[in-house]
Amino acid sequence: MSALRYPPLLARLEEAFGGLSHRVGQRWVRPALQALQPQAVLRIDGLRADQRLVALTIDDAPSPETAGILDMLREHEATATFFIHGARIRSATEDRLLCRMLEEGHEVGNHMPESIPSIQLKPKAFAAEFERNHCILSDRDANPVRFRPSHGFYNRAMAEFMRTRGVELGYRPEFYLGLTLPWDVFFEIPGWYARHNARAAVPGRIVVFHDNQDRRDLRGRIISQSRRTLAALPVFFAELEKQGFKARSLAHLEAAAKP
């Protein structure tokens, strides 16, 4: 799929916005968010400037489009961390997709069983749902060690759970989030947010896409973010490769980073 082409003025404005957004995020937004969310991982630190790697994360899999996403990652020699909704593994088809993720070098993380905001759950309900999803993935030899709360927010009770029971189950105590908004949730222009993510690339940046068939947009319409991701990824990879960057899983970046 070829990248969308904008008139020169719009292209320059888009590029300028991407650069400004990145500078604002790194200089002011990231320190503020990190102070408010000390357990959040917003970027993988410790990479050298010449380690041109970004962490590609894909939320809400599996879906009927997951196989196409995996094909695209293989074509571009990329790996990703898939944060899985375990309740969507309902048949041998989804089991095979999970197995394929692992065989092709991708990482699997815990994203709760369903797309319900984790922060809305009472502590006991959160613990039960977290462990339910953990068992679904562990029973399939996925061995998740990273957690991203569904809808991306956490509270003190969840933080305490991760420091105690989460660690007992083998998880990192942090919440793997990312610095920027997941633009694909809000906009129907895959080329725009794909380029925005790629042009803001710095070593260690965490990029978020979605593999979700039934999310509602701001107008209440049901949309397929999976198809948006399939449209966005070719643009993302083309722009990323121009800058000499590669997309890898969170596990890969953490292994590459200096202690």
pLDDT in tens, 18-75: 444 545 445 555 555 555 677 899 999 999 999 999 999 999 999 999 999 999 999 9
Whole-number average pLDDT of the chain: 86
Is 243 contained in some domain?
yes
Q: 113-130 burial string, b = 16+ CB within 10 Å, else e? A: bebeebeebeeeebbebb
Phi-psi category of residue 143: left, alpha or beta, with phi > 0 → left and psi -120 to 50 → alpha? left
How many domains does one find in the chain? 1
The radius of gyration of the chain's CA atoms, rounded to the nearest angstrom, is 18
Give 171: exposed, middle or buried? Use CB within 10 Å, 0-12, 13-18, 19+.
buried
Residue 4 pLDDT exceeds 80: no
| Phi, psi angle pair for 33, to nearest 5° | -65, -40
Is 173 contained in some domain?
no
Please state, in angstroms and rounded to a whole number, the distance separating the CA atoms of residues 55 and 155: 24
- Which domain CATH number covers 71? 3.20.20.370
Q: Which domain holds residue 99?
A: 8-104+180-256
Is 22 contained in some domain?
yes
Residue 97 pLDDT exceeds 90: yes
Is 168 contained in some domain?
no
Q: 21-48 burial string, b = 16+ CB within 10 Å, else e? A: bbeebbeeeeeeeeeebebbbbbbeebe
Percent of the chain with pLDDT over 70: 80
14/242: higher pLDDT:
242
**Are 88 and 132 within 8 A, CB to CB?**
no
Is 90 contained in some domain?
yes
